[in-house]
């Protein structure tokens, strides 16, 4: 038995001590390895945790290896802390807007950013029990804390102990990809791994990268009162999403005070005393911008290095570990799940992949499935939120699909009107000539919660007509789905059918 090394999370206050006590307990003693495991899982983020708990629940002998914090990015430096911050930022914004929009009491003075971060740490610590080492041990999983690496095609090593396996799952996740900008490393920067350790609000923040993480955090920090500039070489925010949806988010961020520098080329970053100076070119003009912090959010790099993939005979490329449609790698004993092998780098996608892997790895795929058959929605938690499921218009056309597109502005939905959140829209792409849904984009206050209805329809093969015959409560934002069905039905009414109806009603006069 070996003792795992201890870790710290800054600031190492009462909440982060609770977090660490759960997900990397100080003094944790790794168990003695069982003979040969049915399954060894490398990495205890969402993909690894879900794989391990389901497999152990089914009675398999399972080992789980984690070098840092169980829970992975989602719990520690991803979804959980970012959504806690976003909730606080929304609340600050609502309070600030209450007087202007709703005749509420005027507020003055600054908010308390340190309290925002303390609240986040408290909530994160509270959630951490569910991913904790002791809980997983109680679920029947052998939890090994330490750096794992393959030493053979059927063996992993951790802390000097060898774990032999029938099957293994690589679930090592991804990390912030830092672009090779001259001077950036010397000047210092934040990533998602350090931004949630801030205790003071940076008065001036430059965010590099206008993808989901960059947009969510840029808007949140602007709402807290930072002067935020968001720079990206792309000419729009959220490049993977519907361009009109991205435009709504861009306008919302600007109205929250974010300065957008799109189509920018970053030349270099330098440190001058306590400031970082970002040199960039925008619309042909060279500019320099002083910042108190620079946050890099320019994409994610899969964790494929340093743990012996070559020894195990597992191939990888720019997208991470190479897998087939059943998530099997080039070594038939080894599977992969989550950010390390997926173009959908989301917690729910990692969770879904883990479920497939258990079935495919342990039950020969009898109950399993193919990853390309999954319907995976995603949401960017800006205000308004942008949710997507299935194909965007560009993707549908690139795939040569004939589509019919129905768009309903949120301005036609009473609830959105009453809440003055009408800037968004629903856009549904149908297979031309049918009500079969190929994809949808929703831009609305709670788009992430609402998109589940379309994801369910796509998963269950339910068409837009049946959504239209589903009664939605009034007034809710989800009435937008029925309105889309009504709009589609109207397009089905041919001039001949309309004339026939008119003739029928004349007979009734
Ligand atoms: C700021 C931010 C916000 C996000 N918000 C959302 C959101 O709102 N919704 C959403 O769905 N997704 C969100 N995501 C994405 C989400 O966090 C990831 O998709 C998810 O964490 C992927 O899980 P995973 O298990 O594949 O990898 P990870 O969570 O990265 O876990 C991998 C684990 O493997 C461990 N590991 C790596 N190598 C080794 C080794 N050699 N030995 C032992 N252990 C190892 C790592 O320490 C880590 O704990 C966000 C991400 C970020 C960065």
CA angle (200, 201, 202) in 5-degree steps:
110
- CB-based contacts of 200: which residues, under 8 Å, 6+ apart? 113, 114
Query: What distance in angstroms lies between residue 368's CA and the mean position of ligand 1's atoms?
Result: 23
Query: Is residue 77 within 8 Å of 158, Cβ to Cβ?
Result: no
The per-residue pLDDT for 504 is: 85
Q: Can you give the pLDDT of all 509 residues of the chain as single tens digits?
A: 445 568 999 999 999 999 999 999 999 999 999 899 999 999 999 999 999 999 999 999 999 999 999 999 999 999 999 999 999 999 999 999 999 999 999 988 899 999 999 999 999 999 999 999 999 999 999 999 999 999 999 999 999 999 999 999 999 999 999 999 999 999 999 999 999 999 999 999 999 999 999 999 999 999 999 999 999 999 999 999 999 999 999 999 999 999 999 999 999 999 999 999 999 999 999 999 999 999 999 999 999 999 999 999 999 999 999 999 999 999 999 999 999 999 999 999 999 999 999 999 998 767 668 999 999 999 999 999 999 999 999 999 999 999 999 999 999 999 999 999 999 999 999 999 999 999 999 999 999 999 999 999 999 999 999 999 999 999 999 999 999 999 999 998 777 877 888 888 888 87
Residue nearest to atom 2 of ligand 1 (CA): 78
Report which ligand 1 atom has the smallest distance to the Cα of 195: 1
Question: What residues does 118 pair with on adjacent strands?
Answer: none
What's CA 223's distance to the chain center, in Å?
21
Residue 271 three-state SS: strand
CA dist., res. 256 & res. 228, Å (int): 10
Query: What distance in angstroms lies between residue 350's CA and the mean position of ligand 1's atoms?
Result: 9
Query: Is residue 331 within 8 Å of 314, Cβ to Cβ?
Result: yes
Query: Is residue 172 within 8 Å of 293, Cβ to Cβ?
Result: no
Residue nearest to atom 19 of ligand 1 (CA): 346
Nearest to 314 by CA among 289, 294, 332, 293: 332
Residues with C-beta less than 6 Å from any ligand 1 atom: 42-48, 65-69, 72-74, 78-79, 82-83, 147-149, 171-174, 192, 213, 303, 307, 338-340, 345-348, 350, 381
The per-residue pLDDT for 438 is: 98
Query: What distance in angstroms lies between residue 339's CA and the mean position of ligand 1's atoms?
Result: 7
DSSP state for residue 43 in the 8-state scheme: -
The per-residue pLDDT for 507 is: 83
Query: What distance in angstroms lies between residue 337's CA and the mean position of ligand 1's atoms?
Result: 11
Residue nearest to atom 20 of ligand 1 (CA): 347
* Diameter of the chain measured on Cα atoms: 91
Query: What distance in angstroms lies between residue 71's CA and the mean position of ligand 1's atoms?
Result: 8
User: Quick one: tokens of 294?
Assistant: 């620079």
The per-residue pLDDT for 108 is: 86
Residue nearest to atom 52 of ligand 1 (CA): 78
Query: What distance in angstroms lies between residue 95's CA and the mean position of ligand 1's atoms?
Result: 33
Query: What distance in angstroms lies between residue 284's CA and the mean position of ligand 1's atoms?
Result: 38
Backbone torsion region of residue 269, taken as left when φ is above 0, otherwise alpha when ψ lies between -120 and 50, otherwise beta: beta
The per-residue pLDDT for 5 is: 67
Q: Is the peptide bond before 11 cis (omega within 30 degrees of 0)?
A: yes
Query: What distance in angstroms lies between residue 303's CA and the mean position of ligand 1's atoms?
Result: 10
The per-residue pLDDT for 368 is: 67
**Strand 320-321 with 316-317, pairing:** antiparallel
CA dist., res. 346 & res. 329, Å (int): 20
Q: What is the value of pTM for the model shown?
A: 0.96
Query: Is residue 4 within 8 Å of 161, Cβ to Cβ?
Result: no
From 19, 45, 176, 350, the mutation candidate for ligand 1 (largest count of ligand atoms within 8 A of CB) is 45
CA angle (157, 162, 165) in 5-degree steps:
95
Residue 31 three-state SS: coil
Give the torsion through C-alpha atoms of 311, 314, 316, 320, to 10 deg: -110
Query: Is residue 49 within 8 Å of 70, Cβ to Cβ?
Result: yes
Q: In Å, what is the CA distance from 83 to each residue of 16, 88, 124, 189?
A: 17, 9, 10, 22
**Strand 285-291 with 300-302, pairing:** unpaired
Query: What distance in angstroms lies between residue 345's CA and the mean position of ligand 1's atoms?
Result: 8
Residue nearest to atom 15 of ligand 1 (CA): 346
């Amino acid at each position: 038995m070996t003792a795992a090394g201890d870790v710290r999370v800054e600031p190492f206050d009462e909440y982060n001590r609770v977090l660490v006590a759960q997900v990397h307990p100080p003094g944790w003693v790794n168990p003695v390895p069982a003979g040969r495991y049915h399954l060894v899982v490398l990495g205890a983020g969402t993909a690894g945790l879900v794989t391990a708990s389901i497999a152990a629940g089914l009675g398999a002998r399972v080992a789980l290896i984690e070098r840092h914090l169980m829970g992975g990015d989602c719990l520690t430096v991803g979804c959980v802390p970012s959504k806690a911050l976003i909730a606080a930022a929304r609340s600050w914004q609502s309070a600030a807007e209450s007087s202007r929009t709703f005749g509420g009491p005027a507020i003055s003075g600054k908010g308390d950013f340190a309290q925002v971060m303390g609240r986040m740490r408290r909530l994160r610590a509270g959630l951490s029990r569910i991913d904790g080492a002791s809980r997983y041990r109680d679920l029947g999983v052998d939890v090994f804390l330490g750096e794992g690496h393959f030493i053979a095609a059927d063996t992993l090593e951790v802390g000097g102990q060898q774990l032999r396996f029938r099957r293994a799952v690589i679930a090592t996740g991804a990390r912030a990809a830092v672009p090779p900008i001259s001077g950036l490393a010397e000047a210092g920067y934040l990533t998602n791994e350090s931004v949630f350790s801030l205790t003071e609000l940076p008065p001036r923040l430059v965010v590099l990268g206008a993808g989901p993480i960059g947009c969510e955090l840029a808007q949140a920090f602007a709402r807290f009162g930072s002067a935020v500039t968001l720079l990206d070489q792309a000419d729009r925010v959220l490049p993977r999403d519907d361009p009109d949806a991205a435009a709504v988010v861009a306008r919302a961020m600007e109205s929250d005070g974010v300065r957008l520098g799109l189509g920018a080329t970053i030349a270099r970053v330098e440190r001058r005393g306590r400031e970082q100076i970002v040199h960039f070119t925008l619309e042909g003009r060279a500019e320099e911008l002083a910042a108190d912090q620079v946050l890099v959010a320019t994409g994610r790099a899969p964790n494929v290095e340093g743990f012996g993939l070559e020894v195990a005979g597992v191939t990888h490329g720019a997208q991470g570990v190479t897998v087939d449609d059943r998530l099997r790698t080039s070594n038939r004993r080894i599977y992969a799940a989550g950010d390390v092998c997926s173009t959908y780098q989301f917690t729910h996608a990692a969770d879904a992949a883990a479920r497939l892997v258990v079935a495919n790895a342990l039950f020969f795929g009898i109950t399993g499935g193919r990853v390309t058959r999954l319907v995976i929605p995603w949401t960017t938690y800006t205000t308004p939120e942008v949710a997507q499921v299935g194909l965007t218009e560009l993707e549908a056309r690139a795939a040569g699909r004939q589509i019919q597109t129905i768009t309903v502005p949120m301005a036609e939905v009473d609830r959105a009107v009453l809440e003055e959140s009408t800037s968004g829209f629903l856009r549904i792409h149908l297979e031309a000539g049918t009500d079969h849904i190929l994809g949808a984009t929703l831009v609305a206050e709670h788009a992430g919660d609402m998109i589940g209805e379309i994801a369910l329809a796509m998963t269950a093969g339910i068409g837009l007509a049946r959504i239209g015959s589903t009664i939605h409560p009034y007034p809710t934002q989800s009435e937008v789905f029925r309105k889309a069905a009504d709009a589609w039905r109207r397009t089905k009414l041919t001039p001949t059918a309309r004339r026939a109806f008119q003739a029928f009603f004349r007979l009734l006069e």
